[in-house]
């Protein structure tokens, strides 16, 4: 089990302290991982040779969201409703499970200021290199923390956003390629329930939990639900 680093088609040995740390992490967690440096940032290879590697393409995604919302009303967007976007109001969002920044970049495209957190060492390397490589003006509204959230400076209109990843007995749909690769490297959030309880104790204006549509809620509480075709957002209030 090892970390393989590629650049211009050549395999490199871990040189920097960060690269050696990642190599040790892969060895200790029995992971075979290939990271490739291209187009100014790191890409994560799939375990299947026929699949393209994945990364966080910030400029492309923000431009894609901008083009979409020029034609579609933001007020109809399910996630925007869940976090409380209304009229000209935009909450500050604390994205506690940044992952590959999928929802983080949506929040930015809504016009929100975002603080995003990611604790997994391999994924945060992808994020940090992507942020350094980004040129889109919207990135100025993102603060990224390469750690799990401990103390948050919650403001009056702050929203906590939590997208836990763990096995669900009702999950029947095969994940898309990016999520399959991500899940293979990261694994399940085994402490998801403990994190959820801590978030409830913070008493933010609202806590939004992303769930597969047919999955169970994380608590016996009855949240406000925004349900789409495959995803549901459970909203908890103080």
User: Under a CB-based contact definition with an 8 Å cutoff, are residues 140 and 58 in contact?
Assistant: no
What is the CATH number that goes with domain 58-236? 3.40.50.150
pLDDT of 34 reads 92
Q: Is the pLDDT of residue 189 over 80?
A: no
**What is the tens place of the pLDDT at every residue in 198-232?**
888 888 889 999 998 888 888 888 899 999 988 99
User: What tokens does 232 get?
Assistant: 């549901």
**What is the tens place of the pLDDT at every residue in 140-173?**
999 999 888 777 878 778 999 999 875 554 455 4
**What is the tens place of the pLDDT at every residue in 85-138?**
999 999 999 999 999 999 999 999 999 999 999 988 999 999 999 999 999 999
Question: Phi first, then psi: what are they for 96, rounded to 5°?
Answer: -85, -10
- Residue-averaged pLDDT of the chain: 87
Which are the contacts of 26, defined by CB distance < 8 A and separation ≥ 6? 1, 2, 3, 32, 33, 122
Q: Which of 222, 212, 213, 208 is nearest to 85 (CA)?
A: 208
Handedness of CA 144, 150, 155, 159 (dihedral sign): positive
Instruction: Measure the CA dihedral 16/21/27/30, to 10°.
Output: -120
pTM: 0.89
Domain boundaries, the chain: 3-38, 58-236
pLDDT of 130 reads 97
Q: Is the pLDDT of residue 64 over 90?
A: yes
């Amino acid at each position: 089990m090892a970390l393989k680093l590629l650049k211009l088609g050549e395999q490199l040995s871990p040189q920097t302290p960060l690269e050696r740390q990642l190599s040790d992490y892969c060895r200790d967690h029995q992971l075979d991982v290939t990271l490739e440096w291209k187009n100014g940032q790191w890409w994560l290879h799939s375990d299947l040779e026929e699949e393209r590697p994945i990364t966080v393409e910030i400029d492309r995604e923000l431009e894609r969201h901008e083009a979409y919302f020029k034609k579609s009303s933001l007020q109809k967007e399910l996630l925007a409703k869940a976090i409380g976007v209304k009229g000209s109001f935009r909450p500050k969002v604390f994205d506690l499970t940044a992952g590959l920044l999928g929802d983080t970049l949506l929040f930015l495209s809504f016009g929100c200021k975002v603080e995003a957190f990611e604790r997994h060492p391999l994924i945060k390397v992808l994020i940090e290199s992507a942020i350094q490589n980004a040129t889109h003006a919207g990135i100025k509204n993102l603060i990224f923390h390469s750690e799990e959230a401990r103390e948050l400076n919650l403001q009056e209109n702050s929203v906590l956003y939590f997208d836990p990843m763990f096995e669900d007995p009702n999950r029947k749909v095969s994940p898309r390629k990016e999520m399959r690769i991500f899940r293979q490297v990261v694994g399940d959030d085994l402490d998801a329930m403990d994190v959820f309880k801590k978030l409830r104790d913070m008493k933010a204006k609202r806590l939004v939990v992303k769930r597969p549509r047919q999955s169970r809620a994380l608590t016996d509480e009855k949240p406000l639900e925004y349900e789409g075709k495959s995803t549901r957002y459970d909203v908890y209030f103080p």
